[in-house]
Amino acid sequence: MAMWGGRFSENTSKDVADYSESISFDKRLYKYDIQGSKAHATMLGGAGIIPEATAKMICEELDNILDRIEKGDFEFKMELEDIHMNIESALIAKLGDEGARVHSARSRNDQVALDIRLYLRDEIALLIDMIREFQKSLVAKAAENPEAIMPGFTHLQHAQPVLFAHHLLAYVEMLDRDAERLADCAKRINVLVLGSGAIAGSTLPIQREKVCELLNFSRVSRNSMDAVADRDFAIELLSDLAIFAMHTSRLSEDLILWCSQEFDFVELGDAFCTGSSLMPQKKNPDVAELTRGKTARIYGDLMAMLTMCKGLPLTYNRDLQEDKEQIFDALDTAKKILRVYPPMLASMELKKENMAKAASDPALMATDVAEELVKLCVPFRTAHHRVGAFVKYCKDNNKQLNECTLEEMQITIPEANANFLTLFDAKSSVGKREVTGGTGFNEVKKQIAFWQKTLE
């Protein structure tokens, strides 16, 4: 008979038990379930709700159970549904009636919400550390190649020359916001919900502040119904992970393009690529492709959580048990990305000549010409129009922008002077963009130094 079986005269069928169990996946919460139960028992003992000696026995036995689980010497039973009842029943098996006191003033509804919060608090700290390592690997690659010039793209068309390091640092900024979002989410997770009972709190004189202190939460939840009903904190985490994955997916797309024969800007280490079973010459950037693919999984986890919650009446509904597999899958996927990416970036070799060659097209400096006119007091719109006409003249006459004489240039740009003929060098174009946040050599070195110091 189930632990809640008092009012039942029939057992659930095997299929129903199979359908409703969560132990096969929520067993990974064991450590947090035990941590929570120990704090709860300690409080119950201190408040005189159970004898102090009982509380002590319970805590000791919970430590034994933890030990057994970690040694692989604990049998998880499907009939006991979930991690909470597996642990509680092991406690009762050992301590009898004394163990049966642990669930006073507690429901699995507040217990499971507590366990997830404790678990996510740790997971977020780990994720943030891993994101910092990811950032470091990008900064290291930028620092190794502070002067490599490549074409910057808009609409996947050559736009203006930029430093490769500047491109990498763009991702460092994105990852920084990802880490900040996670840290912010952790603040809302770090609330004690235990003591909410099934829905309405408890008639027993529990001391929630005591449990809050023991478990190192920042505060006690204010509304027992909210505490057991909502999983917004997990949805928020999954949103944060979806944004993080979106960023890594874009980086992956950049790498995939750069590895293609058409770009040929970088080569990834052999250990991060695979070959073709048919075409002997192939070297495919599978890790980057899989990251793009796995991003879809994380979006799926987020969508599943949002959809699961949208129609639930307050408060707890069993639907909420479905939160865990989404949470675990999104976290596992994000951590896999984070494990594989930094070493892959470290293995990346630049093909600087190819990048420089692609950035040397003088058309990439057309904006520099327009800005030079602005310096001569020509209104920007007029300048833009003149340089556009110059680009058309070159196209019509089958010339590169730097192949015209000053006289030819003056046909469309009457203000042009000899200096204008020197504007078509990618390196000096980059060198002039020393505005804060720009791609100038000094500015980018400053940014590299900033990140090296920040991530130390």
Summarize as ranges the residues that interact with ligand ARG (CB under 6 A): 22, 26, 82, 108-109, 112, 316, 318, 320-321
In whole angstroms, how close is the CB of 250 to ligand ARG at the nearest point?
35
Buried b (16+ CB within 10 A) or exposed e, 106-124: bbbbbbbbbbbbbbbbebb
**Quick check: 426 and 364 in contact, CB under 8 A?**
yes
- Residue 205 tokens read as 């004189």
In whole angstroms, how close is the CB of 90 to ligand ARG at the nearest point?
16
List Cβ neighbours of 108 (8 Å cut-off, separation of 6 or more): 82, 84, 85
- Residue 155 or residue 318: which is nearer to ligand ARG going by CB? 318
Q: Which of 439, 352, 430 is nearest to 168 (CA)?
A: 439
- Integer Cα distance of 257 and 355 in angstroms: 13
Q: Which residue's entry shows tokens 């529990």?
A: 206
Q: Check residue 106 and report its DSSP letter.
A: -
In whole angstroms, how close is the CB of 448 to ligand ARG at the nearest point?
46
Write down how long the chain is. 456
In whole angstroms, how close is the CB of 10 to ligand ARG at the nearest point?
18
- Residue 38 or residue 108: which is nearer to ligand ARG going by CB? 108
**Quick check: 234 and 116 in contact, CB under 8 A?**
yes
In whole angstroms, how close is the CB of 108 to ligand ARG at the nearest point?
4
Helix (H, G, I), strand (E, B) or coil at 149: strand
- Residue 83 or residue 430: which is nearer to ligand ARG going by CB? 83
Q: Which residues are catalytic?
A: 155, 276
- Residue 80 or residue 370: which is nearer to ligand ARG going by CB? 80
- Residue 137 or residue 321: which is nearer to ligand ARG going by CB? 321
- Residue 65 or residue 228: which is nearer to ligand ARG going by CB? 228
In whole angstroms, how close is the CB of 21 to ligand ARG at the nearest point?
8
Give me the numbers of helices (H) and strands (E) for the chain, helices first please.
18, 6
- Residue 126 tokens read as 């780990």
| Per-residue three-class SS string for 199-243 | CCCCCCCCCHHHHHHHCCCCEECCCHHHHHHCCHHHHHHHHHHHH
